[in-house]
Amino acid sequence: MSDPLGLISGSGGIHRPVVTPAAQGGQDAQGASFKDVLLQNINEVNKLQQQAATAIEDLSTGQRNDLEGVILATQKADSAFRMLLAVRNKVQQAYEEVKQLRV
């Protein structure tokens, strides 16, 4: 199963980027900001959901016969959305914790 959000490394563990001097200031080693990576992943999830919707429409209109492909497309879209939702929940939880800090 692929990881549309790129959050799971090939070794089965969670991928945690190494913070280098180039990665400080909201930029990672390749120059993409957190916002850019997040927007890219949102667009990827949207694309998977559109593909699943198209597959369902094609199956219901008779343009497609492979039920397995439709099920796979919907499961990929569902998994990607759930992962994106989990990321959103973690970011929201971190924001709530930061709000509670006393300065």
Rounded mean pLDDT of the chain? 82
Judged against a pLDDT cut of 60, whether residue 21 lies above it is answered with no
Judged against a pLDDT cut of 50, whether residue 1 lies above it is answered with no
Least confident of 12-26, 46-60, 63-77: 12-26
11/78: higher pLDDT: 78
φ, ψ dihedrals at 8, nearest 5°: -115, 125
What type of residue sits at position 90? K
CB 56 within 8 A of CB 65: no
